[in-house]
């Protein structure tokens, strides 16, 4: 699998390249947006690690350019702590968002999770009530409403919850499935992911309440036909 690192920090790019190469990946490096877009066209990477703060066009602009022609997984890297920046990146089509500093173990766990998108054993289309999930296109669609692109983490969360047919799934199990490593995320990261997904479902004509928090049991998905007992969403 080929991974493109886009970061103008030469030292950090070298460390990331070393960690990823040791894990068996082929690694390319670009130090600005134009170089990154040229490498994507020439080398067709399987995943892009994209820094937000780049010289010239920033990471958001590069992401917008990528999404006009490509549907490959993109993980944003940033030192920014502003939630608005994270939301902007995810709304533009980023699949994950990792704040610096981070450990090589956490990075590798998230890389493995992103590269599993479209892997073997996934149902191409999942459905629950008016909601349809196209796993191959990473898309959610609501009957009578609209459609939205799903990030890899959002898709994995929905697949897990839909597979349990309204029964709650333990928080730690969700974290381990979605991020592939329980050390790569925590309850707050899961709450943020659930919040973004609820907002996205509501925006296309569904309901954020479809994803319920069930006290002492975890999260469950129900479109109203067979909602599990529990506390209100949180």
Q: What is the pLDDT along the chain (234 residues), one digit of tens a residue?
A: 889 999 999 999 999 999 999 888 999 999 999 999 999 988 889 899 999 989 889 999 999 999 887 778 899 998 765 667 777 888 888 888 888 888 888 889 888 888 875 443 445 567 888 999 887 778 899 988 889 988 888 888 998 898 877 889 999 888 888 876 555 678 888 999 999 999 999 999 999 999 999 998 999 998 764 333 333 344
Residues 99, 72 contacting (CB under 8 angstroms): no
For residue 90, give Cα distances in angstroms to 76, 97, 151.
9, 8, 8
Residue ranges and CATH numbers for the domains of the chain are: 2-115 (3.40.50.2300), 125-221 (1.10.10.10)
β-pair type (139-142, 131-134): antiparallel
pTM: 0.59
CA 95 – CA 128 distance, rounded (Å)? 23
Q: Look up residue 74 and give its two tokens.
A: 């993109």
What is the per-residue pLDDT for 113? 81
Q: In sequence order, what are the residues at sequence separation of 6 or more whose Cβ sits closer than 8 angstroms to the Cβ of residue 14? A: none
Helix (H), strand (E) at residue 86:
helix 83-91
Give the three-state DSSP class for 98.
strand
């Amino acid at each position: 699998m080929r991974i493109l690192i886009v970061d103008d920090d030469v030292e950090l790019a070298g460390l990331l390249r070393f960690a990823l190469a040791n894990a068996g990946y082929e690694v390319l490096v670009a130090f600005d947006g134009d170089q990154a877009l040229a490498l994507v066209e020439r080398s067709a990477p399987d995943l892009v690690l994209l820094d937000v703060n780049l010289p010239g066009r920033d990471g958001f602009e590069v992401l917008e350019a990528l999404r006009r022609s490509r549907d490959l997984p993109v993980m944003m890297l940033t030192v920014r702590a502003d939630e608005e920046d994270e939301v902007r990146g995810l709304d533009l089509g980023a699949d994950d968002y990792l704040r610096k500093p981070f450990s090589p173990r956490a990075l590798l766990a998230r890389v493995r999770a992103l590269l599993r998108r479209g892997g073997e054993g996934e149902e191409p289309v999942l459905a629950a009530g008016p909601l349809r999930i196209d796993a191959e296109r990473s898309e959610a669609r609501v009957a009578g409403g609209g459609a939205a692109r799903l990030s890899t983490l959002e898709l994995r969360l929905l697949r897990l919850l839909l597979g349990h047919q309204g029964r709650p799934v333990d928080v730690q199990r969700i974290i381990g499935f979605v991020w592939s490593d329980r050390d790569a995320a925590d309850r707050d990261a899961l709450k943020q992911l659930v919040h973004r997904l609820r907002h996205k479902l509501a925006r296309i004509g569904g309901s954020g309440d479809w994803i319920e928090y069930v006290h002492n049991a975890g999260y469950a998905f129900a479109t109203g036909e067979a909602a599990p007992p529990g506390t209100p969403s949180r």
